[in-house]
Amino acid sequence: MELRPRIGRRVVLIPLPFQGHLNPMLHLANILHFSGFSISIIHTHFNSPNPADHPHFSFHPIPDGLPPKSGASMGDIIPLVNALNQNCSGPFTSCLSEMLSDASAQPVACLITDTHWHVTQATADGLEIPRIVLRTSSFTTFAVLAALPLLRQKGYLPLRESQLEEPVHEFPPLKIKDIPRSGTTDHDPMYQLLSTMCKESKASRGIIINSFEELEPSAMSTVQQEFGVPVFPIGPFHKFLPPSPSSLLNPDRTCISWLDAQPPKSVLYVSFGSVASIDEDEFSETAWGLVNSNQPFLWVVRPGLVRGSAGAFQVPDGILDTAAGRACIVEWAPQLEVLSHAATGGFWTHSGWNSTLESLSAGVPMLCRPVLFDQNIDARYVTDVWKVGISIESKLERGKIEEAIKRLMIGREAMEMRERAACLRETADRCLREGGSSYKYLEKLVSLIMSF
Ligand code: UDP
């Protein structure tokens, strides 16, 4: 695709420094660059993107007050996001003021920040720059988060063990256990973060979402009503343009040549994203379930995947010997390429939103094993709404895993899921083409930015 004519205006983007947030923000930056804007990225030193991967953007690091480190474990995320918001308010203002006063640079049209950078609304107000937010979850999750006070009032929260299987009448087909496990008092750090995030998103000039209208039409109207600002579903971002690299870890490309040697749709790709972790026992059950299923598998065993193991985790030899030739294990995979590879027939995922959307738009059915945050909501939609996957809801146990993998990969049910997934892939492709829903929303977004 050819670059659109240059508009002579600059958009400043601020990604949240975690893999599942960096990827969509950098894809969005590419889309806006393609649409004619110049792109500046303000980023923390913590989990910094690599400027060399994006030579057409300008990068502006700010001090974040955190020790340098790449990757984060599940327990760290909320305190980290809170600390980042506290530490970065001053640096954002200094960095943006400098940009605004630089007469030699193109004028700044607006700021686009991750919804979790809630402190940037005050920065934008102070400097009188419009702020648009990027939400990196599904519409449904955003609608549920905005409704947490209501769900608390109605007695769904705090979650009670005896009610977990009951329906949430306001959000069918969600069950009570699907609601993200935030605390419920006003002083709980996660509850506080989520309500401030929603409040400051309502104060923004618009919400960009990495989803598409046809996927979640009713949740989209709920978000529109609840937030009261224009909403732009322009996803799936990564399919608009060939994506540039944005991984914090180095993808191991040997898995692509291994995939090249496998029969079409035979391989189960297994990855639990960049943050979710499992214990040693679950790891062992997973490994034996994979081996016993007799399907070829490509497994991402990321450093830190097994709780308590900071570095790379050694897969026991016995397991690999039994799976001889049928297993490929890497520390990080080029996931988009893996999902679009002809040999990939299924994806065992933790149901992070990026992974879910990437799998849907590649037409790959999923075996869902959600761990935390919004992952239960994504998994519920995959299994009960789009019907392109199954879930393992019970304790991870090798016999159950083997059975679930066979259901996903072979037989009639697997064929039906595959057909539905292929239809969703076509819908995703269609909405990105001229006249499609995401294409039209992108045009509207560009007009809004131009109007500032
Ligand atoms: N990813 C990747 N290689 C891997 C595992 C994950 O490139 O081996 C990418 C994946 O394509 C997705 C992101 O990392 O874009 C993970 O985001 P997601 O929302 O699925 O999960 P999170 O890591 O935020 O829990």
Q: d(Cα 171, Cα 189) in Å, to the nearest integer?
A: 25
Peptide bond into 49 cis (omega under 30): no
pLDDT at 71: 53
Distance 18 CA to ligand 1 centre (A): 10
Distance 122 CA to ligand 1 centre (A): 30
CATH of domain 254-428: 3.40.50.2000
**Does the CB atom of residue 207 touch ligand 1 within 6 A?**
no
Distance 355 CA to ligand 1 centre (A): 6
Distance 375 CA to ligand 1 centre (A): 13
Q: d(Cα 452, Cα 444) in Å, to the nearest integer?
A: 13
**Does the CB atom of residue 304 touch ligand 1 within 6 A?**
no
**Does the CB atom of residue 441 touch ligand 1 within 6 A?**
no
pLDDT at 70: 47
Q: d(Cα 410, Cα 265) in Å, to the nearest integer?
A: 10
Q: d(Cα 65, Cα 21) in Å, to the nearest integer?
A: 20
What is the average pLDDT value for the chain, to the nearest integer?
94
Ligand 1 atom with least separation from CA of 271: 5
- pLDDT (mean) for 156-174: 92
Cα torsion 231, 236, 238, 239: sign: negative
User: Which CATH topology does 10-245+434-451 take?
Assistant: Rossmann fold (3.40.50)
Distance 60 CA to ligand 1 centre (A): 24
- pLDDT (mean) for 160-175: 94
- N-to-C CA span, the chain: 27
Q: Which two tokens stand for residue 142?
A: 């955003």
**Does the CB atom of residue 332 touch ligand 1 within 6 A?**
yes
pLDDT at 185: 74
- Model pTM above 0.95: yes
Distance 27 CA to ligand 1 centre (A): 13
pLDDT surpasses 80 at 74: no
- Mutational pocket test of ligand 1: of 22, 328, 335, the residue with most ligand atoms within 8 Å of the beta carbon: 335
Long-range pairs for 418-423: beta carbons < 8 A, 24 or more residues apart: 418/265, 418/345, 418/363, 418/365, 420/365, 420/386, 420/387, 420/388, 421/359, 421/360, 421/363, 421/364, 421/365, 421/388, 422/363
Ligand 1 atom with least separation from CA of 339: 11
pLDDT surpasses 70 at 75: no
pLDDT surpasses 90 at 224: yes
Distance 406 CA to ligand 1 centre (A): 24
Q: Where in the chain is the domain with CATH 3.40.50.2000?
A: 10-245+434-451, 254-428
pLDDT surpasses 70 at 184: no
Which residue CA neighbors atom 13 of ligand 1 most closely?
20
Which residue CA neighbors atom 15 of ligand 1 most closely?
354
Give the pLDDT confidence of 279-327 residue by residue, as tens digits. 999 999 999 999 999 999 999 999 989 988 777 777 877 887 888 889 9
For 345-411, where are the alpha helices, taking DSSP H only? Answer: 353-360, 375-380, 398-409
**Does the CB atom of residue 151 touch ligand 1 within 6 A?**
no
